[in-house]
Structure 1
């Protein structure tokens, strides 16, 4: 994000608003932030990306839109969790499908998506 003369506090607030939009699945408003220079893989203090939060909260359309704009499906947060494992944990089947289509790594993170799928009885979603 170019600073455009904004303070660190203002930049932090922009990121916080964008993270909330990702959690809420407000794709249109979130994409406005990205189109105006917010990096698609920006992270919060816990290293969650916009994609991670959208995936965890079950917003497949938002996940798809972020992936279409270059979001990395494999960036893990500070707890070494991947977006696809988070979606499996939450039972967000459509998000899992979108991330699979994008080539998400099923063996990345702790737990891996494969482990999460087994643990939560969702193995069929990631079967090769």
Structure 2
């Protein structure tokens, strides 16, 4: 058994194999693949709810960052996976982590018009005032795109 088997099980959505591999090798939950993704980052990026839930049963750095500095929460905000976003926040994901460009989960959610996720992030303490490396807040990104519902939500 190798760590690559764990990442293959995630990609194949093989929950049983995932359970076996993590029970025998619990530290693998914090390992990374060639792209810098942990098992949680990979599962959440692909929107795999059951696999993500299984991985979250194991102690880990829920705010681990990939090669671009993105966390699992940032990825689901970009992709629009609200159920997984809720799951990550319930497990203590830090909503204010910034990636290597200074972006936060809220900035991604605003940029990609993910209103349901924006509301969840704000309820979990997302800081609307954080600016990315270009000096833009989540509200600035929404205004640049004319996203009226996002603008209204962020101005409340």
Query: Scaled by the length of structure 2, what TM-score is found?
Result: 0.70
Question: CA offsets per residue over residues 72-119 of structure 1, 9 Å max, x none?
Answer: 001011111111111111111111111111121111131211211221
* Bigger mean CA deviation after superposition, 112-121 or 76-85: 112-121
Quote the Cα distance in structure 1 between the aligned partners of 2:131 and 2:64. 19
Unaligned runs of 5+ in 2: 1-24
After superposing on structure 2, the runs of 4+ consecutive aligned residues of structure 1 that deviate more than 6 Å are: none
Contact map agreement 1:19 1:44 (CA 8 A) in 2: yes
> Is 1:11 aligned to 2:31, yes or no?
yes
Unaligned runs of 5+ in 1: none
- State the 1:23 CA deviation: 1.7
Structure ranking higher on relative contact order (CA contacts 8 Å, 6+ apart): 1
Q: How many residues align?
A: 123
Contact map agreement 1:41 1:50 (CA 8 A) in 2: yes
Quote the Cα distance in structure 2 between the aligned partners of 1:84 and 1:6. 30
Quote the Cα distance in structure 2 between the aligned partners of 1:89 and 1:5. 36
- State the 1:59 CA deviation: 0.8
> Is 1:48 aligned to 2:70, yes or no?
yes
Which of 39, 46, 49 aligns to 1:24? It is 46
Which of 94, 101, 104 aligns to 2:116? It is 94
Root mean square deviation, CA, Å: 2.2
Contact map agreement 1:73 1:103 (CA 8 A) in 2: yes
Structure 1 residues 1-128: aligned runs within 5 Å: 11-13=31-33, 15-110=37-132, 111-122=136-147, 123-128=151-156
Higher-Rg structure is 2
Contact map agreement 2:110 2:139 (CA 8 A) in 1: no
